[in-house]
Amino acid sequence: MDWQTTADAVPAGIVPEARALSLVGRPPATGAWREGDPVGDRRFAAIGDVALESGAVIPKARIAYETWGELSPARDNAILVLHALTGDSHVIGPAGRGHATSGWWPGVVGPGLAIDTDRYFVVAPNVLGGCQGSTGPASVAPDGVEWGARFPFLTIRDQVRAQLAFARALGIDRFVAVVGGSMGAMHVLEWAIMAPEAVERIAVLAAPAAATADQVAQNSVQLEAIRIDPGFRGGDYYDLPDGEGPTRGLALARRMAMLNYRSAIELNQRFERSWQSGLDPLGGGGRFAVESYLDFHGNKFTRRFDANSYLVLTEAMNSHDIGRGRGGVAAALDGIEARSLVLGIDSDRYFPLDGQRDIAARLRRSVHGPEPFLVRSEYGHDAFLIEHAIVGDALRALLDA
């Protein structure tokens, strides 16, 4: 999911310039945050060993996170915000040292906004397996070498188990709300099932109760684009010089993903058949503007993300099925006790609205009844990151309930 979306709403045919993130020069082998890089607004919490569903153990794991607002003396005003696939802990705040891009939800989180940092203590962790400070493939393993492809397979439940340990490390026993979109919403559902005593409210934004075959198929071609890049070297590329890592494969995966995150309506209206240069692409001398747009975002992505993390997190999303081992999806949903918001987007072609309808129909304490809160938007899946006003209204209704 595209977590840096608001800045790219530019006129058709114009590719936005990079801001804090420079596209000058060859891309690094990895865009991961590494030890010795500027910390920025990150903090770090040690969560100890994390036992995984596979039987593997990630030793001495840590979670990178950011917070806003003040935790009350009773520790009863905390909200947990969980990010999408390519997001991180930088929910709000400017780009700068330590943060390649500005925060991904500036119109929703902040003073006086729907998730009001004058009222709530807002916590946003980078997911286990991520590449922006939490333990992941780009982290150094106990043998002194990056984990790379040796990093264990993770499920959504494994990541929530790490988030639960993180909450304990912060001394927070119960959240006013756990909020997330896309991959983050998968985590939200697992929170409500795995730790019902720790969750008063949940906001499930633009995600299904289980990944479908179609969604796994779309993800699979992105993963293969990375693996067949010669610079991937089986996941062992961290010592390669700039320009020699798996950047072409990662950029191609990103371009594929963006076609899922946005809608045909938006791309057709925004770019039409315009081209980037003064030369007609049909004559072999130019490029369609939409091609340049996808190239720009693919190339930008390689400077802030890690190819191995993309594999790990995408495969975790493929594992998502809240009904696994629980008697099926319906039984799992029937057991959720938290007051809930389920939000869907009419133009979402990645996680279509039917998935949110299935969830809302089973939740007994939904603030919007048996139907999801509907966002009508041309922006497709990314609308939950872009349509701040309507998403904010939905979240206010949940928090006031």
- 2, 229, 306, 348: the catalytic one is 348
- Cα(73)–Cα(95) distance, integer angstroms: 32
**41 is an active site residue:** no
Residue 109's DSSP bridge partners are 115
The one-letter code for the residue type at 187 is H
Spatial CA neighbour of 91 closest among 394, 385, 387? 385
354: helix, coil or strand? helix
- 182, 263, 340, 347: the catalytic one is 182
**Degrees, nearest 5: CA angle 338-89-135:** 100
71: helix, coil or strand? coil
Distances 396 to 229, 374, 392 between C-alpha atoms, Å:
45, 15, 6
Burial of 390 (0-12, 13-18, 19+ CB in 10 A): middle
**37 is an active site residue:** no
- Cα(200)–Cα(178) distance, integer angstroms: 8
- 99, 187, 320, 381: the catalytic one is 381
- Joined tokens for residue 73: 């003396």
Q: What is the strand order of the sheet 339-345 is part of?
A: 43-51, 57-68, 121-125, 78-82, 177-181, 201-205, 339-345, 373-375
- Cα(295)–Cα(308) distance, integer angstroms: 20
**348 is an active site residue:** yes
Catalytic residues: 182, 348, 381
